[in-house]
Structure formats: C-alpha cells, structure tokens
Amino acid sequence: MEKALILDFGGQYNQLIARRVRECNVYCEVHPYTMSMDAVREYAPIGIIFTGGPGSVYLEDSPQVDPEIFRLGIPVLGICYGCQLMAHHLGGQVTAAQDDSAREYGKTETHYDISFPIFKGLSESGISWMSHGDYMAKIPAGFALAAHSDACPNVAIADVSRGFYGVQFHPEVNHTENGTQMIHNFLYEVCKASGDWTMADYKETAVRQVREKVGDGKVLLALSGGVDSSVCAALLAEAIGSQLTCVFVDHGLMRLNEGDEVEQAFGKWAMNFVRVDAETRFLLKLAGESDPERKRKIIGEEFIRVFEEEAKKIGAVDFLAQGTIYPDVIESGAGTAAVIKSHHNVGGLPDYVDFKEIIEPLKLLFKDEVRQLGRELGLPEYLVSRQPFPGPGLAIRIIGDITKEKADTLRLADYIFRDEIAKAGQDKCLDQYFAVLTNTRSVGVMGDGRTYDYTLALRAVTTDDFMTADWARIPYDVLERISIRVINEVKGINRIVYDITSKPPATVEWE
C-alpha cells in the first residue's frame, strides 16, 4: 500500500491534511516532526507533507527538521510554516514581516501559475486561506515562484526537478478554493500515486491482522452502542467470532429503541453478546442529582462497576478491545506535539479486570472512514450513520434531576424530532440534531384546561469539524410539524423552542 507521511509541526489543521490525503485514496499517517530519518526510510512514503505551525523558523527554539530529509529523493509539500521551513533549510531567507501589508490572514485572492503540476487544472485565480506573519524575503536557488497575491509575491514556490513545493496558505481547509485538488495534484502529478487506499482493502487487511494478533486468545469489548465501538465489535466479530465477548451496558438513558437496535445488529455474528439491563441501578445513583459534571462522573463510575461485575463472570481474557480512532491518537499528542486533549476510552478500569494487552483495531481511521468500514462489514445503516451521542446519554440532555418519567418523555420527543427531520430529507443536511428537556415549566392551554408542563428545546447544527458550528436553518414547516406532533403525542410538554445559537459562544450540547 502506498503511503504519504505528514510531519506535524504543531499546526491546528494537521488532521484536516490527513483527511484530505485519504479522500484522495492515498493512505497517510501523522507523525511528529522529530521522527528519525531511519523511521522515515522504514515508513517508505511516496511523498512527505510538512504541516503548518505557530513557530518562526528562524528562531533557535523553533521546530526543525533533519536536512537529510531533502536528500531522500522523496517529493515534499510544505504548508505555511512547512513552506517557510523548506525555504529556510534550502538557502532561502525567512523573516518577520516588516509591515502589515506582508502579513496575510483569512481569505485572500490568489493568482496561480497553472503550468506547475500542483496547480494543474485549476483556475488562474481563486480564494486561499492565509495565516502567516512571517515572510519569505528570499526563495532558495532552484525554486520558482508559482503563485502570488496582491500583498505577497511568493505565495507558492516550486522546484519541479526535485518535487519540492511550498504554499504559504492552507489548501486543506474548505475556505481555500480547489484546495483538495491541489493536494490531489501533489499526490498524483508529483508523487505519482496510484490511489490504492480503499476501505474494502482495509477491511481485509484489518481482519487478517486481528486474527494474527489474537490467535486463539479471548477478547473483551465494552460496547456502548455508538458508531466507534459498534464498528470495532463488528470487525472483531468478523475476525475471531466466538472468541469475542461484547458487554453492552444498557443504562436506561439511550434513545428510543436504541438498545434493541444494537442487539439486533450483531445477531448475524457468532460472538458472545452480553446485554446488561442496568436502568434501575443507574437511575437510583442519579436520583436528585442536577449538576451535569456529577451526572457524568456518576454514570462513568457506575458503568465501570457494572463492567467489572460482568468481566469477573467471564474470567481471564487476553485482550481488552477499545474503539479508539485516529483523531483520539493525534489529539492525545506524540513526542513534542501539542496535547489538545487526552483520550482513553476505558479510562479508570480497575487493575483486577484481567487482560494482558489492549487492542485498538480502528486507531488509524477517521470517523468518516469508520462509518465506511461499518458498511463494508455489513452493519445496518441506522447504526453506521447514527447521530453523535454523548456517553452519559440522555442524562445530560435532561436539565436538572433525572427520573424515569423524564427520560421516557425525552426519548419519545427526541424520536419525533429525528423522525420528522428524516422524513423531510433534512438529515442529509444536518451534522447533529437532538432534543433537550429543559427544567423550565410554563403555563399552557390544552383543550379547555390549563397546563403547567415542561419546555422542550430543539437543537440542530451544521459543522465541518465540531470545533465550530452554526445553528441549522430548518424550514419553518418542518419545525411546525415537529411541534404539533410533540405537543399531541408526548405527555408533559406544552412548549417547544428552537436553539439558534452558534458555537461559539454556545457548545453543541447543552450540558
């Protein structure tokens, strides 16, 4: 399998670069810039991409690269900081911009020389996303100018003979017009990729690797019912069948019919599926608690206790499986890369849950790739395309204290919301949508009687990365149908409101 290598210099868009490369059917991995030359040679990439970063290449403590990398005969694409790093190492000069006109931030009209392979097939002008305060005062010998803007004559540089390209903008972000095509051109026109990264091939390889690793051992997986753990379970079941035991802890705070759907989805595999009905014990633990962080901790701790009890019944296992995915690995940091947030999918499991090793068969996949793999494995679409759902479930979509009555009320209202969104075809336009049972009660009139019931809030957002999100413009007639159905079909709700707050300042979830 052909592989591209992404060296991370602390850029905020490193995951996006990897996603764009894989969208071009080329496999890639993100590694810290400190990766040794021996490791680079062993990895054997067809091309290398330097990410952006917050540093200035001319400062002593800035991230650098072993100059040997430029003598490997491998094409290199430098993005923003990576472009300046290439220029700095190969005889150019990078300095702080002397005036504001040389600094560029945001959307910038850019002019391309489309005779260069990296810009092949593009329009001669377009918008690019700039984010740099340093300036290439001198480009290295052997390089030519490949793009410019009104403020900057050297927006892109190229040494065609060596396959070295540098761009001071970010082709990986959606704001850059034709940015993915530029990355595609680098991979196919410069690196001569053939595009052999497909999910069908990945599935076969992953199944084989799991079989080789596990042998005749036993694997235990805590199955949450979310996309990641479900695809992980399906892959393991495909590979090792009855050697896998999945423990599905149903805490009673899932969406309508979700527990049954999860159980049904795994009926075709010869695996050991253990469903634990723990609704009563979770609700007892949560009784009277309204603080969202306490709710999370209570649910996390109780989940571990239930899992402990089931693990003891099973006895010793060789592997504990986790649905860790690639963003978790990248965000947890490696080497001197910045730690965005730490991840451990089964954090806090006690030492006496007896296993020898952790196995993470999805740790090189992005979320959209996990969904593709699920389809390849034959999981039903309702599970593969499932909306993001927090681990604590409806507990953090019920504002205030939690009761079974409130959970049942929200379950039905949320189902109606999702059902009407799907019927209207809006589910293809929205990235996340759900209902929240607020703790606000208000006066209403139903029939000839006065009511004093709860207010339901609807939330729907569109986003590329969930770092920021915009509230979705759901058509009024769809919102009207949802409101009518909820009021008529769900006891205890007499008012519907729609959340029109973007992230930031709000978050996607309410708690």
Active site residues: 80, 170, 172
- How far from 45 is each of 1, 28, 42, 502, CA to CA, in Å? 10, 9, 9, 40
Helix axis angle, 367-376 to 199-214, nearest 10°? 80
First to last CA, the chain: 43
Q: Could you tell me whether strands 156-159 and 244-250 are parallel, antiparallel, or unpaired per DSSP bridges?
A: unpaired
Q: Could you tell me whether strands 104-112 and 144-149 are parallel, antiparallel, or unpaired per DSSP bridges?
A: antiparallel
* Rounded-to-integer distance, Cα 236 and Cα 230, Å: 10
Contact partners, residue 387, CB within 8 Å, separation at least 6: 418, 432, 433, 434
Q: Which residue has the tokens 């996607």?
A: 508
Q: Read off the tokens for 169.
A: 């903008």
User: In this structure, are residues 338 and 360 in contact, taking their beta carbons and an 8 Å threshold?
Assistant: no
* Rounded-to-integer distance, Cα 72 and Cα 67, Å: 10
* Rounded-to-integer distance, Cα 155 and Cα 145, Å: 8
- Residue 443: phi and psi, rounded to 5, are -80, 140
Backbone dihedral region for residue 23 (phi beyond 0: left; psi -120 to 50: alpha; all else: beta): alpha
The kind and range of the H/E element at 179 are helix 179-185
Cβ of 114: how many Cβ atoms within 10 Å? Answer: 15
Residue among 261, 257, 221 at smallest CA distance from 239: 221
